[in-house]
């Protein structure tokens, strides 16, 4: 926390300003943030007020019944409305940006008792608690009060510290989480918004956590320091392997910062699956000058979710609907939520709009689809805000560890604040000379069908599932990288996609004999293997 406070009030350097300009000017790194031509991307209405009401009528008109021609008219008019509304505070993302811009109100606005807005709200909640919940909440409240009056801390420091304690309390007491997560904090927002802003604040510092100094980064050093305190050799070995994976990712010069964050998130996800008993301790490790590893992973997970937005719209074999629709429908029918008949009717209409207006429209980019889903959610909340907590808790994308529907909304907001950039292109020298395959047919395996599927990805996915183990687990995030950076990147020609995939593969395997043996042998149905594919990319 000390280094963050020390730098909090510094003016941005010219180098930092140049970097911010690059973030604005570059094409998106992940599929849903890529630029598309006007013929392939249809902007989505996100308005409010009189214009928003008008756009809502248009959507409802189509939802009831319309011809394809009428729908095109709706989309064209919606595009015009969106252009005037997308940047305003009326959108979900706009509201999130407003909360971040006004976050100092939480600490600088005080009541007649000298309590800041955040602490005053916590006092109000304390009046509604009893028993163990009240005892623990008062302990957090006392600590929050001291934190708020600590003149050595910045407003951001105070928010991050208090938010972390409240979030832990909500995790321990789920009933309080449901009752108070959307409890208003004056006119600023709610506790869900507080947790979101905390992630945004931490995101300003995460790049320094993975910046190399003398060959190591703060994240690796924190893990190494923790490792020195344990005696279990199996845990030490596992942490050594984890640090090796982190080191490989961070030193991969072909990856942008955003891609490194997404891949690091997946690295920890897979590690915790294998070593669940150690998760709490590892998440609690302090990274000097930043905070906990848990705080770092909350940020990296946003990049991971953005990188996997496309998977929510994939139609799995044997299904007629995309993954998002399938998961939302399944959760709606989950008895644990105990929805009434009228609530189910509202949710059925909501999911139906996603199915028909969004998922079923092949002309929409992933960007437009995500914006449209967020828009449909905002429309539902106008009439059914009582569904907010349960709907945001719906699990989606379980197969690829996405999270909840609320996580989708938050990641969409996060993407609007921190747009990913295009990666530097590299051409690593080949370590071997693969046997030449039929390169004239290589473009066929990258031909997109059924929304986001290709022979290359499906074949690779099947191979990894049929050959489970460490090598398959380690390659999985790089397969997703091939999908996000190359296959779904509409700015690349098919030959550039082949080169990009070849670069990812050869950079990953390097001179590691185990990786070379496994990865180069992955078969591409009806075509050949990875080794031959790399040759087609000039490697």
Residue 204 CB partners (closer than 8 Å, separation 6+): none
pLDDT in tens, 23-75: 323 333 333 223 333 333 333 322 233 233 333 333 333 333 334 344 434 43
Query: What is 83-129 written as a DSSP string?
Result: HHHTTSTTSHHHHHHHHHHTTTHHHH-B-TTS-BHHHHHHHHHHTT-
Domain that holds residue 114: 100-204
Among 204, 232, 262, where does a domain finish?
204
CA-to-CA distance for 239 and 493, rounded, in angstroms? 40
Q: For position 469, what pLDDT does the model report?
A: 79
For residue 424, pLDDT over 50 is answered with no
Q: For position 437, what pLDDT does the model report?
A: 54
pLDDT in tens, 195-245: 999 999 999 999 999 999 888 899 999 999 999 999 989 999 999 999 999
CA-to-CA distance for 358 and 344, rounded, in angstroms? 20
Contact 31, 484 (CB under 8 A): yes
Better-predicted residue by pLDDT, 276 or 429: 276
For residue 343, pLDDT over 60 is answered with yes
Tell whether 210 is covered by a domain.
no
Reading phi first (left if > 0) and then psi (alpha if -120 to 50, else beta), residue 466 is in: alpha
Q: Which phi and psi (to 5°) does residue 190 adopt? A: -135, -175
Q: Which two tokens stand for residue 279?
A: 């998760």
Query: In this structure, are 185 and 126 located in the same domain?
Result: yes
Contact 78, 44 (CB under 8 A): yes
Residue 477 CB partners (closer than 8 Å, separation 6+): 262, 263, 266, 267
Q: What is the mean pLDDT of residues 461-475?
A: 84
Which residue in this structure is represented by tokens 């599932």?
465
Query: In this structure, are 188 and 140 located in the same domain?
Result: yes
Contact 147, 1 (CB under 8 A): no
For residue 106, pLDDT over 80 is answered with yes
Tell whether 221 is covered by a domain.
no
Q: Which phi and psi (to 5°) does residue 145 adopt? A: -65, -40
Q: Which of 200, 302, 212 is nearest to 249 (CA)?
A: 212
The enclosing H or E element of 395 equals: strand 395-396
Tell whether 66 is covered by a domain.
no
Query: In this structure, are 526 and 468 located in the same domain?
Result: yes
Tell whether 415 is covered by a domain.
no
For residue 323, pLDDT over 80 is answered with yes
Cα distance between the two ends of the chain: 46
Number of domains in the chain: 3
Contact 64, 29 (CB under 8 A): no
Tell whether 389 is covered by a domain.
yes
Query: In this structure, are 380 and 444 located in the same domain?
Result: no
Contact 509, 431 (CB under 8 A): yes
CB neighbourhood size of 243 (10 A): 17
Among 401, 425, 453, where does a domain finish?
401
Tell whether 418 is covered by a domain.
no
Which residue in this structure is represented by tokens 């302090």?
286
CA-to-CA distance for 127 and 117, rounded, in angstroms? 16
Query: What is 423-467 written as a DSSP string?
Result: PPP--PPPSS-PPP--GGGGGGGG--BTTTB-HHHHHHHHHHHHS
For residue 448, pLDDT over 60 is answered with yes
Tell whether 234 is covered by a domain.
no
Confidence label for 112 from pLDDT (cuts 50, 70 and 90): confident
Q: For position 419, what pLDDT does the model report?
A: 42
Which residue in this structure is represented by tokens 């979101």?
196
Q: Which of 92, 118, 114 is nearest to 105 (CA)?
A: 118
Q: Which phi and psi (to 5°) does residue 20 adopt? A: -65, -40
Q: For position 210, what pLDDT does the model report?
A: 95
Q: For position 309, what pLDDT does the model report?
A: 94
Which pTM does this prediction carry? 0.64
Q: β-strands 286-287, 189-190: how paired?
A: unpaired
Among 345, 372, 401, where does a domain finish?
401
Three-state DSSP at 328 gives helix
- Report CA Rg, the chain: 24
For residue 104, pLDDT over 80 is answered with yes
Dihedral over alpha carbons 510, 512, 513, 519 (to 10 degrees): -60
Tell whether 459 is covered by a domain.
yes
Half-sphere exposure of 468 (CA within 13 A, CB side): 2
């Amino acid at each position: 926390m000390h280094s963050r406070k020390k730098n909090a009030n510094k003016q941005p350097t010219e180098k930092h300003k140049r970097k911010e300009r690059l973030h604005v000017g570059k094409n998106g790194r992940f599929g849903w943030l890529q630029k598309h031509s006007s013929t392939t991307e249809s902007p989505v209405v996100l308005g409010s007020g009189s214009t928003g009401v008008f756009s809502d009528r248009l959507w409802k008109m189509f939802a009831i019944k319309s011809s394809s021609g009428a729908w095109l008219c709706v989309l064209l008019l919606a595009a015009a409305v969106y252009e005037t509304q997308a940047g305003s505070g009326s959108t979900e993302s706009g509201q999130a940006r407003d909360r971040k811009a006004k976050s100092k109100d939480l600490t600088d606005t005080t009541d007649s008792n000298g309590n800041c807005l955040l602490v005053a709200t916590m006092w109000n909640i304390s009046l509604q608690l009893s028993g163990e919940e009240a005892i623990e909440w008062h302990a957090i409240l006392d600590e929050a009060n001291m934190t708020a009056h600590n003149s050595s801390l910045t407003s951001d420091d105070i928010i991050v510290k208090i938010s972390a304690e409240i979030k832990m309390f909500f995790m321990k007491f789920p009933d309080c989480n449901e009752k108070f997560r959307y409890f208003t904090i004056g006119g600023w927002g709610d506790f869900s918004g507080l947790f979101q802003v905390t992630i945004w604040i931490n995101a300003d510092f995460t790049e320094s956590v993975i910046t190399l100094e003398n060959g190591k980064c703060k994240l690796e050093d924190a893990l190494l320091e923790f490792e020195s305190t344990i005696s279990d050799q199996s845990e030490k070995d596992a942490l050594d392997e984890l640090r090796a994976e982190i080191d490989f990712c961070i030193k991969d010069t072909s990856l942008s910062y955003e891609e490194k964050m997404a891949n690091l998130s997946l690295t920890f996800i897979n590690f915790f699956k294998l070593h669940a008993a150690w998760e709490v301790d590892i998440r609690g490790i302090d990274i000097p000058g930043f905070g906990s590893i848990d705080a770092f992973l909350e940020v990296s997970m946003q990049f991971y979710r953005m990188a996997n937005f496309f998977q929510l719209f994939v139609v799995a074999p044997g299904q007629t609907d995309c993954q998002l629709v399938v998961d939302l429908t399944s959760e709606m029918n989950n008895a644990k939520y105990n929805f009434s008949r009228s609530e189910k009717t509202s949710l059925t209409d909501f999911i139906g709009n996603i199915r028909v207006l969004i998922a079923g429209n092949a002309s929409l980019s992933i960007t437009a689809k995500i914006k449209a889903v967020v828009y449909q959610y905002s429309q539902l909340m106008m009439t059914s805000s009582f569904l907010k907590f349960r709907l945001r808790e719906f699990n989606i994308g379980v197969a690829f560890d996405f999270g909840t529907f609320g996580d989708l909304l938050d990641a969409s907001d996060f993407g609007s604040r921190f747009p990913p950039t295009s990666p530097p292109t590299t051409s690593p020298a080949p370590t071997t000379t693969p046997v030449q395959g039929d390169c004239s047919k290589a473009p066929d395996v990258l031909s997109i069908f059924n929304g986001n599927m290709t022979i290359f990805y499906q074949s690779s996915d099947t191979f990894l599932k049929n050959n489970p183990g460490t090598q398959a687990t380690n390659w999985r995030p790089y397969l997703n990288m091939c999908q996000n950076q190359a296959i779904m990147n509409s700015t690349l020609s098919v030959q550039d996609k082949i080169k990009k995939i070849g670069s990812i593969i050869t950079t990953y395997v390097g001179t590691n004999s185990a990786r070379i043996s496994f990865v180069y042998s992955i078969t591409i149905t009806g075509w050949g293997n990875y080794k031959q594919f790399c040759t087609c990319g000039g490697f």
